[in-house]
Structure 1
Amino acid sequence: MTRITPTSLSDGRELIYFDEAGTTASRSSAETTDHRDLPARGEPGEVRYDALTGEWVAVAAHRQSRTHLPPADQCPICPTTAANPSEIPASDYDVIVFENRFPSLGPATGSIPEHPEWGTTGPAYGRCEVVAFTPEHTGSFSTLSETRARTVVEAWAHRTEALSALPGIKQVFPFENRGADIGVTLHHPHGQIYAYPYITPRASVMASAAAAFYEKNDGRETLTGSLLRSEREAGTRMILEGEHFSAYVPFAARWPLEIHLVPHRQVADLAALSGGERDELAHVYLDLLKRLDNLYPTPTPYISAWHQAPVDDLLRRSGYLHLQITSPRRAADKLKFLAGSEAAMGAFINDTTPESVADRLRAVTGSEPSVPNTAMAQGARS
């Protein structure tokens, strides 16, 4: 049973310890008190409405001063020491979630304008949180124990439920950027959670397609469930199949490396997963990440994105939780860059075939990567 201990940092940001059973006694006040004299938190940035696309754009100029690839002895999410009073007051932890000091959204929550037009702005309401997977500065998610990975799953589920209940929140998005080629600003193994005051463009397209499919089939089948069934029947792009989850390279993969991990049961979000489903998720997710890291001599950069149903009740009926792991790595020494067709037109051209990628991912093992932890911390430089 995970022990959950909420506290606050000296500037009022929320911090929550997720401790594994038997790893620590109840957190003392000394471990939960932030003794730093931090400046007061700023006001939210703003969101601006793009009338050309119907999308919101967040303007967060204050993030220009955020921490960028500090040396290990100055890492802000390592446990606090006398020489490094970090964001983590305790001298040790299992998993921690805290509000980002340099948020793209928030810290205030609320509703943005409902009927925007050209020139419409509003406060950048929402919440941005950091999820520290381990107190160890080196390594990656794939080097976590299965017990620790299960604790992270618990933290994702807990925060999804809590953030979904905040005023004005329309969508909750847990994700991880891994590797310098993806643009990480901290080497320490961690992820993030964004709680948006609007439904993001990608989620809006997916939700519309899911709702149309659901209505066409009179609610008898979901779009993601149908795709999962088709991929399992075809078999050529499957990577693994468990009791509760299956993973495959999608038929129309956009990226050189792309994996979808889908629960067999329709659920809207991580919070709706049962205990058994969360147990298996920790296992299969580690398996997939280790396969990625065993494809090449150096660690594979990736974005791991949890697509959860929007908070809106109507969209949740057809929504279906799933994970999309994507990487721009198209060869051991080559990356795919989003140039004219992709960046300007949103029209992807894949340099690999989904079937060949699935073959390779099936062939490599989900054992511990042979890459040293120090290399994991640096990310792939291909």
Structure 2
Amino acid sequence: MKRTSTRLADGREILYFDADDGAARAVVPDPRPLDASADSCEVRRDPLLGDAVVIASHRQGRTYHPPVDACPLCPSTEGRASEVPAPDYDVVVFENRFPSLAGDNGRCEVICFTPDHRTSFAELDEERAALVLAAWTDRTAELGARAGVRQVYCFENRGAEIGVTLAHPHGQIYAFPFITPRTTRMLATVAAHRARTGANLFDEVLAAERAEGTRIVLEGEHWSAFVPYAARWPYEVHLYPHRRTADLTTLDDAARAEFPGLYLELLRRFDRLFAAAAPTPYVSAWHQAPVAGEGRADFALHLELFTVRRTADKLKYLAGTESGMEAYMNDVRPEDAAARLREVASR
């Protein structure tokens, strides 16, 4: 892999990741007359729950469902300059023009998986998926080393049903100045289990799913994917490396090599769930340990993938119990979801 860093017209960083480490990447200047990037993000703390909440009012003006010929994530062409000045790329990462977090309050980056606007992650080949994994790892290491950053979160939202406003295949990378509420709850549960039993709860969950088997979706030599016992979403899969590790930077070479093929198969199965309504909208989220501090050694890197679609013509909306009280009600039995995801395996 070759990484090339440069700047956009308003000072934001952009990084090109090329699969060929000997590739000659010509740095193309950004010709747009952009003002210096500005933001008004603020982190506030909920006094009752203790959760951090980000206030980012400037994001009201962000780009919203542009036509294909005005996509800001496609490579630039003659007469049309985008967020990516180069005429082509393999994988590219750049600071978000409309960030939720910036300056002392962290950083938000966009990662484009391919220059092809009309494809998806599931349609990438294994070499490109491996390059995306390398880019995620690079950003986790670099952002995690920044002063004030507590946790790095790599994720992809796909589909208008999820709320995506740009159709180009892309994800985001957030460097949080706080540990996210979901991770905070995981850490507390894992710490309590360690104090009570002396064992690691992540290890026990993975071992139990592999031994019981009914919720396993697919399994490799170094990874297992399963529908969790208490899944919140109609179709939800958790993907764990067999060797527990805190984050992407410490993932071993064997697991790193196996991941692309296994992850692509998982995404393709999601698209086959509702063939008449493909592509399936989803959220794909890497859960990583905080960059430092108590609890990091016991945390297990894993990916959580879920869709808001429950049938070909029905979506799972968060009802009052879920959005108001965080008490989830799932319409699909986890064991049935796992069986269906096994049925749609590649032949």
Q: 2:253 aligns with which of 245, 262, 275?
A: 275
Q: 1:320 aligns with which of 280, 288, 300?
A: 300
In structure 2, the residue matched to 1:58 is 54
Is 2:222 aligned against 1:244? yes
In structure 2, the residue matched to 1:17 is 16
Is 2:133 aligned against 1:134? no
- 1:215 to partner: Cα distance: 3.1
Q: 1:165 aligns with which of 138, 145, 149?
A: 145
In structure 2, the residue matched to 1:120 is none
- 1:276 to partner: Cα distance: 2.3
- 1:363 to partner: Cα distance: 0.8
Aligned residue-pair number: 345
In structure 2, the residue matched to 1:359 is 339
Is 2:44 aligned against 1:48? yes
State the SS of the aligned residue for 1:135: coil
Cα deviation code 1:202-261 (max 9, x no counterpart): 11101111222233343xx42111101000000000011111100000111111010000
Q: 1:291 aligns with which of 260, 266, 269?
A: 269
State the SS of the aligned residue for 1:294: helix
Is 2:89 aligned against 1:93? yes
Cα deviation code 1:334-354 (max 9, x no counterpart): 011101100100000100000
* Counterpart code for 1:209: T
- Provide TM-score, normalisation by structure 1: 0.88
* Counterpart code for 2:47: A
Q: How far apart, in 1, do the equivalents of 2:145 and 2:251 lie?
A: 17
Cα deviation code 1:296-347 (max 9, x no counterpart): 1222111101100112331211111001111111111101110110010000
Q: How far apart, in 2, do the equivalents of 1:164 and 1:216 lie?
A: 31
Q: How far apart, in 1, do the equivalents of 2:149 and 2:195 lie?
A: 25
Cα deviation code 1:136-172 (max 9, x no counterpart): 0111110111110010000000000111111111111
Q: 1:225 aligns with which of 180, 193, 203?
A: 203
In structure 2, the residue matched to 1:75 is 71
Q: Is the 8 A contact 2:40 2:58 kept in 1?
A: no
* Counterpart code for 2:62: R
Q: How far apart, in 2, do the equivalents of 1:312 and 1:6 lie?
A: 26
Q: How far apart, in 1, do the equivalents of 2:23 and 2:303 lie?
A: 34
Q: How far apart, in 2, do the equivalents of 1:217 and 1:3 lie?
A: 46
Is 2:262 aligned against 1:264? no
Moved more, 301-310 or 40-49: 40-49
Cα deviation code 1:169-202 (max 9, x no counterpart): 1111100001110000100000001111111111
Cα deviation code 1:6-30 (max 9, x no counterpart): 11111111111110127x732123x
* Cα distance change on mapping 1:85 and 1:268 into 2, 3 Å: same
Q: Is the 8 A contact 2:40 2:57 kept in 1?
A: no
Extract unaligned runs of 5+ from structure 2: none
Q: How far apart, in 1, do the equivalents of 2:118 and 2:177 lie?
A: 34
Q: How far apart, in 2, do the equivalents of 1:147 and 1:3 lie?
A: 14
Cα deviation code 1:342-376 (max 9, x no counterpart): 01000001000000010010011237xxxxxxxxx
Q: Is the 8 A contact 1:68 1:186 kept in 2?
A: yes
Q: How far apart, in 2, do the equivalents of 1:309 and 1:155 lie?
A: 18
Q: Is the 8 A contact 1:79 1:93 kept in 2?
A: yes
* Counterpart code for 2:317: F
- 1:274 to partner: Cα distance: 2.1
In structure 1, the residue matched to 2:184 is 204
* Counterpart code for 1:34: D
Q: How far apart, in 2, do the equivalents of 1:366 and 1:183 lie?
A: 29
Extract unaligned runs of 5+ from structure 1: 110-124, 368-382
Is 2:146 aligned against 1:150? no
Q: Is the 8 A contact 1:288 1:366 kept in 2?
A: no
In structure 2, the residue matched to 1:350 is 330
Q: Is the 8 A contact 1:128 1:192 kept in 2?
A: yes
In structure 1, the residue matched to 2:3 is 4
Q: How far apart, in 2, do the equivalents of 1:249 and 1:285 lie?
A: 15
Fraction of identical pairs, as percent: 53
Q: How far apart, in 1, do the equivalents of 2:58 and 2:201 lie?
A: 40
